[in-house]
Structure 1
Amino acid sequence: MLIGNLDGMTVFARVVEEQSFSGAARKLAMSKSAVSKHVTKLEDSLGIRLLNRTTRRLSLTDAGATFYQHCARVVEEIETAEHALTDLRGTPRGTLRISAPLTFGQRYMPDLVSEFMGLHPGLHVDIHLADHMVDLVAEGFDMAIRITRLKDSSLIARKLADFNGYVVASPGYIAEHGEPRHPTELANHRTLAYTNLANPNVWEFEGPEGQINVRVNPIMSCNNGDFTSFAAIRGLGVAREPEFIVAEALQKGSLVSILNEYNSLASGGIYAVYPERRHLPTKVRIFIDFLVEKFRGGLCNFHKTMFPSD
């Protein structure tokens, strides 16, 4: 009975994941009515309702929740088999779903993805930009770009590049308030904090005397690094920023790197991460190989190559 319902199981699984018939229709390149018919036919063949439908939302019945767990595994096995065949042909196809941090994604991903899609025109790329950590498996992403000091997880990671952390201020701010010469002096300065960190008000450094943790009293906090860097450029205060955000401003002189004798522990790595799978899809493997090649030589070299006029 279920052999004839593989299409229905695939459609049902996508409806659950997208939480709507319309969303499933877009992902499957089908009409909404066709998606509905597949689910109805599946329910009829099983003799049980899988979804509760209202004008505003869908919800799984108890039977539907149980059945979905099995459907998801079956669909994953089918996709794995298809990816294996694609590997034999060596041609990436389908949709590559990528999660990336907002600022990094806005600055670098358009050029990277445009070049990659020019090499592989049969591939569709779906990019989700957000600074919060997404669940790759639960949210259906093939891979993500993570900018962090990577911790142990169930994900497989491949480092693309290291990045430095900088403490920066505008020339105007330094002229008015002076330049701090030691990290502890930051407690008496106007600071700008990036809040997507475990301890945004504690800035960590390494220097000749070892590790130094400084508690700052920010006059402004924000969950976006671009915002805090723009505020610093306008002379509002001192900010702690990763290299990929302030590289251009440092080159132009609109920001100045301070406390250079101390290593800001805002540094870290840029990683391509993906769920542990028995078979890595060609589209993921080829894109990660592409990124590794692009970042070869480090972030500074990558920036100069991608933006030669900077």
Structure 2
Amino acid sequence: MTTASEFDLNGLPIFIALVEAGSFTKAAERLGCTKTRVSLQIRQLETRLGVTLFLRTTRRVQLTQAGEALYHQCSPLLTDLQGALASAVSDTLQLQGELRITAPEDYAAGVLSEAVVAFSRLHPALHIELRSGDQISDMVQEGIDLAFRLGWLKTPRCVLVG
């Protein structure tokens, strides 16, 4: 039996999926993995815990008393953890501040405007300023973050870093 500090938690989502799906096949489909992987992870979990979590027959899988207790204790905790992680990810993916873009008039009106609107819907806390014009801008002095230019440059005015 493994001590709590050495315990691998990776088998718990598989355990919960098996309980909720009711079969190894359905749990594997739900998780996008093989039935063999589900079976192996459950066997390893039972070995680490030193208890039988499921009674298995050829037709059904049934929770034992120990399995039921583990499910009722772990399921809400895992749900809360997944919610916290999803919240952290969505918070970090939410852009905010200002983004200044410059592009030639035709390109800004014909192509970029729709993309900028769609992008701003994804990031409502981000203020986007789209400047259109055919003149070459000093990006640093004008605070421009992104510039689209079409055609050949007469003189090299940018450096590609790769």
Residue matched to 2:80: 77
* TM-score, normalization by structure 2: 0.52
Structure 2 alignment gaps of length 5 or more: 95-117, 119-162
**Mapped partners of 1:39, 1:71: distance in 2:** 15
CA offset at residue 87 of structure 1?
A: 1.5
CA contact (8 A) 1:10 1:71 kept: no
**For residue 44 of structure 1, what is the amino acid of its counterpart?**
T
Change beyond 3 A, Cα 1:2–1:10: farther
Identity between Structure 1 and Structure 2 (%): 33
| Aligned residue in 1 for 2:20 | 17
Taking the TM superposition and a 5 Å limit, the aligned residue runs for 1:88-127 are: 88-90=91-93
Structure 1's 2 and 84: CA in aligned 2 closer, same or farther, altered over 3 A?
farther
Q: Which residue of 1 aligns with 2:47?
A: 44
Aligned to 1:28: 31
Per the TM alignment, residue 77 of structure 1 is displaced from its structure 2 partner at its CA by 2.3
Q: 1:64 pairs with 48, 67, 78, which one?
A: 67
CA distance in 1, matches of 2:25, 2:54: 15
Question: How many angstroms apart in 2 are the aligned matches of 1:24 and 1:57?
Answer: 13
Unmatched 5+ stretches in structure 1: 92-118, 120-310
Q: Per-residue deviation at 1:78?
A: 2.1
User: Which structure 1 residue ranges, 4+ long, deviate > 4 Å from structure 2?
Assistant: none
Aligned to 1:7: 10
Q: Which has the higher contact order (CA 8 A, sep 6+)?
A: 1
Q: Please, what is the CA RMSD of the aligned residues?
A: 1.9
Secondary structure class of the residue paired with 2:55: strand
Quick one: distance in 1 between partners of 2:86 and 2:18? 22
Aligned length: 92
Give the structure with higher Rg (CA).
Answer: 2
What is the SS of the residue equivalent to 1:5? coil
Please give the per-residue CA displacement for 1:206-263, whole angstroms capped at 9, x wherever unaligned: xxxxxxxxxxxxxxxxxxxxxxxxxxxxxxxxxxxxxxxxxxxxxxxxxxxxxxxxxx
* Structure with greater strand percent: 1
